[in-house]
A and B are shown apart, each in its own frame.
Chain A
Amino acid sequence: MRIELIISGFGGQGILFAGNLIALSAMKEGHQVTYLPVYGPEMRGGTCNCTIIISQNEIASPLVYHPSFLIIMNYPSFLKFMPNLKKGGSSIINSDLVKPEEIKNLQILQKKYKLYFVPVNSLAETINAPMLANLCALGAFYQITKIFNLKNFKEALKETLGSERSHLFEPNLKAFNLGAKYINQNFK
């Protein structure tokens, strides 16, 4: 078992938060993990991505050029990372910002990869939490990979939020569940 995941989107979309949460949940599951943020001087609005590697064996390089999994949160990220996805890899794509009908070579991509178009922004809107699109994507990732169990995720979420933001636990979990449910209902 080994997953090389890149999450990419705008700064402010909670990319690093989600990446950190996945790494922590996987660690609690007993896996080896590395989490590498690409960081720059911009705190908000710039492009942002992080690489998470989850493995049963020692992880040497925390960097990977051909990831096995992508979570694409905006169009620039789609352009940048989609060509690098490993053959047979999977990708969760934010269909609110990357519309399938606008992708020219969609059929070719679908042959090569498993694509999961999930309208994470719209899903988050349904619970009046547009900021939590990242958690919807994370829920989808969980449902597809089951790389960690729910208990470990909840623990990780609680730990990451800390006592200061503990009131955000329920909304985050709700968004997570929405993403998981969407996968369950729309993909087999």
Chain B
Amino acid sequence: MDKIAFKFPKSLKSTLFHYCPGCHHSIVHRLLCEVIDELEIQEKSVGIASIGCACFLYFYIDVDILEAPHGRACAAATGIKRAKPELIVFTYQGDGDFAAIGFNESFHSALRGEKITAIMINNTLYGMTGGQVSPTTVPYQKTTTTPEGKNPAYYGYPPKIAEIFSNLEGVAFSGRFAVNTPKRVLETKRALKKAFLAQIYNLGFGYIEILSSCPVNWKLDPIKANKKIDELINFYTLGVFKDKVENFLKKEKN
């Protein structure tokens, strides 16, 4: 019999995605479901949808899902995980949600080393509200609220969360990834799995940041938007910045 190389993930609902053409949310959704399936955690997962384009996470991912107020996903996840440690808890947030309005909640959850997995989709602006400036908007990038470009002298520089979090004791996995090429998709999936393993093995906070295109608000067609990620990478370095999971797995083997 032929080996099945590619199938529809069990934990992905068959609902059609509402995302704009060229948006990377759908790719990440699928990767998330593949990881949930491979780790066999569908029956004990609770996801937190937050405010932004991906607040409809629950229409696509077939696990229990709670919708948290804007920015508060990591606090709600903390409450869930502390109340029921046997659950696998993940948040799925945009850059505005995670790094602007919710930075305090995100940072303190990481500081406490909450055994949760946080996924931050970084498209460098507020997508759902029409493309306003976000903390992660790169210098001189034009947005609807920085029509002349984001001047660092006025707005400062973007936080590099994956690097910042890698310095926190409580964080077990931290890295930044992209899904604009097949190779990067596979790397992202491997990393996503590790961000969950960090939780499953009780090692600490698992953080994964994914650069995502936003063709509509970037005012580019999907192909150009996909290519634009290569430019962003010059500012937002891809890679794993902290990985306690790898060491743990090695020790387990020995």
Direct contact between A and B judged by beta carbons closer than 8 A: no
